Homo-oligomer: A and B are copies of this chain.
């Protein structure tokens, strides 16, 4: 089953209907290599669906986030960008030039975070790690 089919199946599972607008928005989000904000999704989706309203974009993206399919990504350029969530964990490496986002595997960072928390008398609940730099392509430019 393709990712798109999985996403649409999840929507259906929650009693939500499959509409042309939702399919188009999902297409854009699944295709993008970088995190997008609602306005960007709106502009990109309107190329194929000119009558789309931005409210629909906001609503659809909110649903997808609640379903655990999209993840909010905080960046210097704004905290309203969303990226398709990869199963497992979510440490990101983001290109400061083109915005491309890549998930990376941690070298058991979790254990070290646990230790840091202990040292400070904290009971760890969550962590957040994000690296940024120039991706391979952008280094050559």
Q: What per-residue 1/0 map shows which CB atoms of A111-127 lie under 8 Å from chain B?
A: 01101110111111111
CB distance from A34 to the nearest CB of B (A): 14
State whether A120 touches B104 (Cβ < 8 A).
yes
Give 10 new A-B contacts, CB below 8 A, not counting A93-B122, A125-B134. A96-B126, A102-B120, A102-B122, A104-B116, A106-B116, A107-B112, A113-B131, A122-B131, A126-B132, A127-B129
State whether B126 touches A116 (Cβ < 8 A).
no
State whether A127 touches B130 (Cβ < 8 A).
yes
Of the A-B pairs whose beta carbons lie under 8 Å apart in the complex, a sample of 25, sorted by A's number, is A74-B79, A93-B122, A96-B126, A107-B112, A107-B115, A107-B116, A109-B109, A117-B133, A121-B135, A122-B133, A122-B134, A122-B135, A123-B133, A123-B139, A124-B131, A124-B132, A124-B133, A125-B133, A125-B134, A126-B131, A126-B133, A127-B129, A127-B130, A128-B132, A129-B129
